[in-house]
Amino acid sequence: MLNFTNNLQCEVCIHRQQCFFSSLSREEYDFLNRNKKEVDFRKGETIYKQGTQSNYLVFLLSGMAKVLVEGANNKNFILQLVKPFHFLDFPALFEDKMLYRTTVAVVDSRACLIDLEAFKSMILSNKKHVPLLIKHFNRAQQHYTMRMINVLYKNMEARIADALLYLVNEVYYSRVFTLTISRKDLAELAGMSKESTSRILSQLKEQEVLRIKGKEIEVVNKKYLEQLSRIG
């Protein structure tokens, strides 16, 4: 269940400088504040559902969420792990508000839901916001494209290497981390089955490329993973 909380005033929000709109006028902040709400999502709760429509943009304030493409037979592919102070995904803004990906809370999370029509009105009424929106779209599409290319053309060892390097470089910012995602999520991040993922992780552990203890993973030999990614 969604737990609607009291709205934090946008103009005094401690996350304002990290928000998509970091320099609005007072009138724009007031407008945004009237058209958004803060919501809590529990671990495992679906925030966006592929194939449905949404009237909100969702900006993550705390926690973590995964953006994925749902396939047949419960086979999914995780495109991205979203951390705080980023939009989770975008519905088709200027078409039918359709969602082409699913987003799920990885841990208990809090998000800011912004009315989609209000967001569009703000974009169209002030042209300085348009480059920010285009830049955001470009980055997201570039990331998703590269993720798909890597899965299509790389072997399984290289895909696991890419997934681990992504966790080290862009999610946990450390060679030693405790997984907040499940092993199934890790497999879906690599575009592989859980069984193949476990097998390759075991091989990397035996080769002393990784140290694994429960959910804690240490990347001992990052250069080896980078080489696997390049030649894969």
Q: For position 203, which CATH number holds?
A: 1.10.10.10
Check residue 17 and give its pLDDT: 65
The CA distance from 31 to 10, in Å, is 10
- Give pTM, 2 decimals: 0.86
Kindly give, in sequence order, each residue whose CB lies less than 8 Å from that of residue 212, ignoring residues fewer than 6 positions away. Answer: 201, 205, 218
48 and 64 share a domain?
Answer: yes
Given 97, 124, 149, which residue is the final one in a domain? 149
Query: Do residues 226 and 161 make contact, with C-beta atoms less than 8 angstroms apart?
Result: yes
The CA distance from 91 to 53, in Å, is 7
29 and 126 share a domain?
Answer: yes
195 and 225 share a domain?
Answer: yes
Given 149, 177, 196, which residue is the final one in a domain? 149
33 and 141 share a domain?
Answer: yes
Check residue 213 and give its pLDDT: 94
Q: In what order do the strands lie in the sheet with 216-219?
A: 176-178, 216-219, 210-213
Domains in the chain: how many in total? 2
Which of 74-78, 90-94, 105-109, 138-142 is most confident? 105-109
Query: Do residues 71 and 27 make contact, with C-beta atoms less than 8 angstroms apart?
Result: no
Q: How confident is the model at residue 29 (pLDDT cuts 50, 70, 90)?
A: confident
Tens-digit pLDDT profile for residues 125-144: 877 777 777 887 788 888 88
189 pLDDT above the threshold of 90? yes
Which runs of consecutive H residues, i.e. helices, occur in 17-171? 26-34, 116-125, 130-153, 156-166
70 and 141 share a domain?
Answer: yes
17 and 51 share a domain?
Answer: yes
105 and 17 share a domain?
Answer: yes
Given 115, 149, 183, which residue is the final one in a domain? 149
98 and 186 share a domain?
Answer: no
Mean of pLDDT values over 59-63? 91
215 and 174 share a domain?
Answer: yes
227 and 207 share a domain?
Answer: yes
144 and 164 share a domain?
Answer: no
Check residue 1 and give its pLDDT: 39
Residues spanned by the domain of 74: 3-149
70 and 168 share a domain?
Answer: no
Q: How far apart are the first and last CA of the chain?
A: 43
